[in-house]
Amino acid sequence: MTRILVNLTCFFGCAFVGASMVLFTGWPLALLAAGLCFLATQHVLAGLARRGDKRATAREFAQIRKMTIAFQDQLDETRTRIGALDGLIDERTNAQSRKIVSELKVLESLMREFAGKISRGASEAQVKRVPSTGPATAYLGSFGDKNELLETIRASLEENRVDLYLQPIVSLPQRKLRYYEALSRLRDAGGAVIMPAQYIKVAGAAGLMSVVDNLLLFRCVQVLRRLAVRTREIGIFCNISAETLADAEFFPQFVEYMAANQDLAGLIIFEFAQDAVLKCGPEGEKNLARLASMGFALSMDHVETLALDFVRLKTIGFRHLKVRAATLLDGMSGAGAAVAAEDFKKLLSRHGLNLIAERVEDEKTVLQLLDYAVDFAQGFLFGEPRAVRDDASRPAAMAQPEPAPVIPFKRAS
């Protein structure tokens, strides 16, 4: 609009000049003069407009330059901060690595000392009770007798031939990985795996299950701290034996150790066999309740009877109940359940318990379990137990974990 008004002003001004010259030069020259005047005026105006545009463009470029410089300064500052943070992380990582190495050395030394003292004494007692030339019992596998197996267990503990295995637990119906169950396996000098069904009875009678559970717990903490760097949505079920639960000297130390690692509450679930819980007595229940008060959930497995006091379990701190899939599908009445399978999940929910169906081996079983609104499932269908090893061949989800502080071992008298 401004440009139009200026052009009209120039036009009328030039027309006035031409009209004025008519009196002196006549119409032809007057028109020519008016035209030349208008052209000259337009040329001047165009020059002024170009000059204004150049100034505006220069101002815009200057503004852009300022913004670019400011952005570059911010980028440089960010890079500097990132570099400082990387240095701090490296420094802390190196310090933590040195701490880890020191703790592992202490752990191995204590474990060898503890296992050696207790198992040698237990071995002597076993020799008095069981002839070394006696026949192998059904659960001893390839070992000649209990004393031979006990010696193998002792050597495995002293030489740290204890492996951690993890088996997935998935949610239903999504089949999303939600937990791992931690399992321990021993190896003899030749590398043969000794299963829990083989060593638990002998190790328990000799007072060695606290050592096995201790090492299992330590490694669970290692794996959890590594997993927690990437996600805090995956927890680990850590099995604690009946012998450890009943160990009046060790279990309080175990509770104290978890108090020092309370940041893992919600990620680690302590699992106890039903028989161990039912026989733990007031002191055992007190220890379990103390664990729960620190935020650690409890789980019950090896369930043989469903005639349970669910109010009591909730009060103690139990949040998970593992039941064999076969029991849910065909054996509820035989297990003493007060309700049918289709109502069992509702019963547990009223008492704050999650239902985990274990030993799930085929798709047909999964479809049946979905009818009962089962929360979680575990079994070879979803994954076999896999070893967590110290080499690069381990699965990515079970990568080299970061150790936690060493749990104090009880001393043998």
Name the band, by pLDDT with cuts 50, 70 and 90, for residue 30. Answer: low
Q: Tell me: do 214 and 321 sit in the same domain.
A: yes
What tokens does 223 get? 């794996």
Beta bridge mates, 162: 186
Q: Tell me: do 67 and 208 sit in the same domain.
A: no
Q: Tell me: do 118 and 65 sit in the same domain.
A: no
Q: Kindly report, residue by residue over 166-193, the tens digit of the pLDDT.
A: 999 999 999 999 999 999 999 988 888 9
Residue scoring higher pLDDT (121 or 197): 197
Residue 412 forms part of a structural domain = no
Q: Tell me: do 120 and 258 sit in the same domain.
A: yes
In terms of phi and psi (left: phi > 0; alpha: psi -120 to 50; beta: otherwise), the region of 359 is: left
Q: Tell me: do 165 and 253 sit in the same domain.
A: yes
List the CATH number of the domain containing 169: 3.20.20.450
Rounded mean pLDDT, 19-34: 60
Residue 78 forms part of a structural domain = no
Which is nearest to 257 in space by CA: 210, 200, 318? 210
Q: Tell me: do 18 and 105 sit in the same domain.
A: no
Residue 149 forms part of a structural domain = yes
Residue 393 forms part of a structural domain = yes
Q: What total number of domains does the chain contain?
A: 2
Residue 82 forms part of a structural domain = no
Rounded mean pLDDT, 271-289: 91
Q: Tell me: do 51 and 109 sit in the same domain.
A: no
Examine the pLDDT at 301 and tell me if it is beyond 60.
Answer: yes
Total residue length of the chain: 413
Burial class (CB in 10 A: 0-12, 13-18, 19+), 259: middle
Interstrand relation of 162-171 and 386-388 (parallel, antiparallel or unpaired): antiparallel
Q: Kindly report, residue by residue over 125-152, the tens digit of the pLDDT.
A: 444 444 433 333 333 655 557 788 888 8
Name the band, by pLDDT with cuts 50, 70 and 90, for residue 317. Answer: very high
Q: Tell me: do 21 and 141 sit in the same domain.
A: no
Domain that residue 391 falls in: 99-398
What mean pLDDT value characterizes the chain? 77
The 3-class SS string of the chain reads CHHHHHHHHHHHHHHHHHHHHHHHHCHHHHHHHHHHHHHHHHHHHHHHHHHHHHHHHHHHHHHHHHHHHHHHHHHHHHHHHHHHHHHHHHHHHHHHHHHHHHHHHHHHHHHHHHHHHHHHHHHHHHHHHCCCCCCCCHHHCCCCCHHHHHHHHHHHHHCCCEEEEEEEEEECCCCCEEEEEEEEEEECCCCCEECHHHHHHHHHHCCCHHHHHHHHHHHHHHHHHHHHHHCCCCEEEEECCHHHHCCCCHHHHHHHHHHHCHHHECCEEEEEEHHHHHCCHHHHHHHHHHHHHCCCEEEEECCCCCCCCHHHHHHHCEEEEEEEHHHHHHCCCCCCCCCCHHHHHHHHHHCCCEEEEECCCCHHHHHHHHCCCCCEEECCCCCCCEEECCCCCCCHHHCCCCCCCCCCCCCCC
Rounded mean pLDDT, 201-224: 86
Residue scoring higher pLDDT (59 or 112): 59
Q: Tell me: do 12 and 135 sit in the same domain.
A: no
Which is nearest to 324 in space by CA: 314, 334, 316? 334
Q: Tell me: do 50 and 113 sit in the same domain.
A: no
Examine the pLDDT at 359 and tell me if it is beyond 90.
Answer: yes
Q: Of the ranges 88-102, 168-182, 289-303, 311-325, which one carries the lowest mean pLDDT score?
A: 88-102
According to the model, what pLDDT value does residue 401 have?
Answer: 36
Q: Tell me: do 298 and 154 sit in the same domain.
A: yes
Residue 141 forms part of a structural domain = yes
Residue 137 forms part of a structural domain = yes
According to the model, what pLDDT value does residue 347 have?
Answer: 95
Q: Tell me: do 43 and 115 sit in the same domain.
A: no
Residue 233 forms part of a structural domain = yes
According to the model, what pLDDT value does residue 72 have?
Answer: 77
According to the model, what pLDDT value does residue 222 have?
Answer: 85
Global pTM exceeds 0.85:
no
Of 55, 71, 87, the position where a domain reaches its end is: 71
